[in-house]
Amino acid sequence: MRVLQVDSGRRWRGGQRQVWLLCRALGREHGIEQVLVTKRDGELARRVAAAGIPVHGTTWDIGLDPRAWWQLRRTIASFQPDVIHVHDSHALTLAATIAMGRTVVATRRVEFHIGRFGAWRRPDRIIAISEAVKRVLVAAGIAPDAVVVVYDGIDVEDVRRAATPALEIRRQLSIPAAAPIVVNAAALTGEKDHRTLIRAAHYARAMRPDLHWIIAGDGELRDSLVADIDRLKLGDRVHLIGHVDRVDALIAEATIFVLSSKSEGLGSVLLDALALARPVVATAAGGIPEILPSEALVPVEAAEPLAQKVVQTLENPVPPPLPARCSASAMAHGVLDVYRALL
């Protein structure tokens, strides 16, 4: 079986990490012949190439970059794949104009609604990373049997290795050794809802004045979040630290990991926190309730309940288990079953 993997890969985020883990597991465990088309010199290209999988790198500076379209066309002609597996909307839109007569699989990672027309009607199968994502697709008119749920997965040993050596974030931020730390790692975008997280820090201060909140990530909302922190006089307790290369090392030093999203396909960063045996608090957004127990959840956009749940968890810090279906190996098995069913 020959599989062409396609991802626009312009930023290294959770989706690109899943593509890398999938490619690696399909190659190592199942001997699947693969080629990846993605942005040249990006982190995804580097990691997949390091796993011994050919990468046809291209210039991919905008979502629908015509240079990427030409590279994709050349690769299809030379590689002659049995399956074309696309991993984001831009990759799907480009591939849909070239892949006539070929089997196309698309992974959907977000619970945003899709339009009545467009490329998401083209794939032979859509892999949804949670039941929540599948519900959105079916509600938009995609046939239920055309959508298969395969959960994101991680390699626990990879995560644990990446967490050492320690980041020593307390020392870097001059946080007392005995002070508890809440860590959040997410892009500073609207769906991640850091405004609710910051308001939760405001409510929690009265209950646990020693509590510090660390937010790792960059995005277009950074300036407005800084303004919120200043307005609530939280500058000594809420730390916006920007992009962190070693996120797992940061999570490993957390007393609690928190995700405050109001829209989330699954929240794969939560899997890292579980692999590192960190207590977790999260909103019941999208697919998050499919991987966390109800006692770890609060309603979406509910700042005060989020603060209360964090403080309660500090008093009884029990890490939830990592679901067995959320390993990279299980993910690869599920995806391979989709390929085989179509062929």
Does the fold of domain 157-323 match that of domain 2-153+327-342? yes
CA nearest neighbour of 185 among 104, 245, 266: 245
**Domain segments of the chain as ranges:** 2-153+327-342, 157-323
Query: Given this structure, which CATH class describes domain 2-153+327-342?
Result: alpha beta
**What confidence score (pLDDT) does residue 118 get?**
84
β-bridge pairing 256-259 and 280-283: parallel
| CATH architecture of the domain with residue range 157-323 | 3-Layer(aba) Sandwich (3.40)
Q: What is the pTM of this model?
A: 0.95
| DSSP summary character for residue 15 | H
Number of C-beta neighbours around residue 255 at 10 A: 17
Number of C-beta neighbours around residue 11 at 10 A: 13
3-class DSSP assignment, residue 103: strand
Q: Give the separation between CA 247 and CA 186, rounded to whole angstroms.
A: 10
Written as six digits, the tokens of 50 are: 């390091």
43-76: per-residue pLDDT in tens?
999 999 999 999 999 999 999 999 999 999 999 9
Tell me the CB-side half-sphere exposure of residue 270, using CA atoms within 13 A: 31
Q: Which stretches of the chain drop beneath a pLDDT of 70?
A: none
**CA end-to-end span of the chain, whole Å?**
9
